[in-house]
Chains A and B, each alone.
Chain A
């Protein structure tokens, strides 16, 4: 079993839709949960991160962590064609670790 599982997609939605992207994980010791956005042929860029359980909101983006279910989500409201990218989740045990465990990424297409 992989430490982090993520549906590869592609996920196609119409412009303005609410998008839900998810990851599951197996190691309950993970404490930091990150979401990265990666445009084609570019490096990933950090969107947001959460520590432990709970929600975090930043503009149209909301990150949710459910440690009891070992499940994290990224919600995108009012999705735009510019949101079309691959979204990767990542996890680490502490903020001081050098090792992030990444999901394989979900390709999102927002259709105009």
Chain B
């Protein structure tokens, strides 16, 4: 069976510090991978998606970047965090474009202080 791992679960970082969040998927190959941010009262916002190694599409201009160094690994990064980067970050994957089968990770709660 397929599983998605996301870590860390919680993170408190000072303004101006770097960020690296990691997501890995097991039990499948060539998944589509997604990073979402969930802020209070604003719903889920798609940040990046990737259909393959090294292929990243950005949905929203921002202080963040994403990379996919391996087939089942997706990394969300920032060089300098802003207060507005606080939120709940979720990684998700799906495989077949013809199906509705998003699976989300358990999320990372990021607080920038």
* Smallest beta-carbon distance A65→chain B, Å: 14
B57 / chain A contacts, CB cutoff of 8 Å = 98
If the complex has contacts A88-B44, A104-B42, A104-B43, are A41 and B101 also in contact, measured as CB distance less than 8 A? no
User: In the complex, what distance in Å separates the CA atom of A41 from the CA atom of B104?
Assistant: 12
Residues of chain B at interface, number, CB under 8 A:
27
B51 / chain A contacts, CB cutoff of 8 Å = 98
Number of A-B contacts (CB under 8 A): 55
A103 / chain B contacts, CB cutoff of 8 Å = 43
Q: Is the CB of B100 within 8 A of A42?
A: no
Tell me if A's interface is mostly helix, strand, loop or mixed.
loop
Q: Is the CB of B104 within 8 A of A45?
A: yes
Q: Is the CB of B107 within 8 A of A98?
A: no
User: In the complex, what distance in Å separates the CA atom of A104 from the CA atom of B44?
Assistant: 7
Q: Mark A70-112, 1 if CB is under 8 A from B, else 0.
A: 0000000000000000001010100110111011110000000
Q: Is the CB of B100 within 8 A of A32?
A: yes
- CB < 8 Å: which of A34, A42, A88 contacts B107? A42
* Smallest beta-carbon distance A12→chain B, Å: 19
Q: Is the CB of B46 within 8 A of A99?
A: yes
Q: Is the CB of B44 within 8 A of A96?
A: no
> Could you tell me which B residues sit within 8 Å of A by CB distance?
6, 9, 32, 34, 41-44, 46, 49, 51, 57, 59, 90, 92, 97-107, 109
> Could you tell me which A residues sit within 8 Å of B by CB distance?
4, 6, 8, 32, 34, 41-46, 49, 88, 90, 92, 95-96, 98-100, 102-105
Q: Which 3 A-B pairs have the closest CB atoms?
A: A43-B104, A102-B44, A104-B43
Show 6 A/B contacts (Cβ-Cβ < 8 Å), sorted by A.
A4-B43, A43-B107, A44-B104, A99-B46, A99-B59, A103-B43
